[in-house]
Amino acid sequence: MHEFSDRVAVITGAAGGIGLALARQALSRGMRVVLSDLDDQGLRAAARQLGAPAERVLLHAADVSRDADVAALADAAFARFGAVHLLCNNAGVGFSRLATEHSAADWEWVIGVNLFGVAHGVRHFLPRMQAAGEPGHVLNTASAAGLVSTPGMAAYNASKQAVVALSETLRAELLAQQSAIGVSVLCPAWVPTGIHASERARPQRFGVAGSASGASAAYAQGMEQAVRSGRLTPDDIARIAFDAVVRGEFYILPHRRIAQAVAQRFAEIAAAAEPATNP
């Protein structure tokens, strides 16, 4: 996708962090935007912060883990702007505990938002984007955790590795169809956002996390510190992502050190070698 001016972007998880930065980037490239988030008030505050003219912005609250919410988001986006060219499946939640201390509800929440949210987005938007016959792009926010497994984040790692797999599958299918729609998967390492406090955005039906103690608490603290110390800002990530979309790049790894970790992982897999510990 090369042309952004007056095209339409849909961004989930747009109330803050990387989603808000993607919205800023889309607007700066002349796009009209549909901004969506579970957090309705946060979404309105984000829109005020962006300061874009009302005719270029649609706000639509949605919980991406709910199929019906994403269907309604697609209906609202097409009804308002008549087309969608860039779909940013970005909403996601972080969760850190020992694998044995993830409850069934913890798994359902993290997989529900991080994986099903992307799957719902693809299902409800992509056929309509394809039917329009115009160039477009799907940008799925996975994570470096989609490529290498860090201890203390079992559900998060599993959800993000599934998003990478979904994106790879989609890319192959769209290429086989000679589709005008491209796909990229965004895999940042730590970025200073609100992701360490994702519990704030946990829908009631997924319950609440049990308190973390011992090793689980240490992993949760480690994740918060790592997030806070991220060197690339959300705006850096968004700019890198848009530039990669222009170049048609599939894997987007804004932190170069992740490429080394990926090379090491796949060398270990190919050699059936013992995985290096990744604390």
Ligand X SMILES: NC(=O)c1ccc[n+]([C@@H]2O[C@H](COP(=O)([O-])OP(=O)(O)OC[C@H]3O[C@@H](n4cnc5c(N)ncnc54)[C@H](O)[C@@H]3O)[C@@H](O)[C@H]2O)c1
Q: Which residues are catalytic?
A: 156
Interaction between residue 18 and ligand X (CB under 6 A): yes
Which residue in the set 4, 27, 50, 65 belongs to the binding site for ligand X (CB under 6 A)? Answer: 65
Q: How far apart are alpha carbons 14 and 90 in whole angstroms?
A: 8
Q: How far apart are alpha carbons 146 and 185 in whole angstroms?
A: 10
Length of the chain equals 279
Least separation, in Å, of the C-beta of 169 and ligand X?
19
Interaction between residue 141 and ligand X (CB under 6 A): yes
Taking the least distance from each CB to ligand X, the nearer of 163 and 179 is: 163
Which residue in the set 7, 8, 10, 13 belongs to the binding site for ligand X (CB under 6 A)? Answer: 13
Pick left, alpha or beta for residue 166 (phi over 0 → left; psi -120 to 50 → alpha; otherwise beta): alpha
Interaction between residue 140 and ligand X (CB under 6 A): no
Which residue in the set 73, 84, 148, 195 belongs to the binding site for ligand X (CB under 6 A)? Answer: 195
Residue pair 81/133 in contact by the 8 Å Cβ criterion: no
Tokens of 267: 């060398």
Least separation, in Å, of the C-beta of 22 and ligand X?
9
How is the chain split among helix, strand and coil, in percent rounded to 5?
Answer: 55, 15, 35
Per CB under 6 A, which region of 23-31, 62-70, 243-251, 257-265 contacts ligand X?
A: 62-70
Which residues have CB under 8 Å from 44's CB, separation 6+?
Answer: 59
Positions that interact with ligand X (CB under 6 A): 12-13, 15-19, 37-39, 42, 63-65, 90-93, 113, 141, 143, 188, 190-191, 193-195, 198, 201, 227, 230
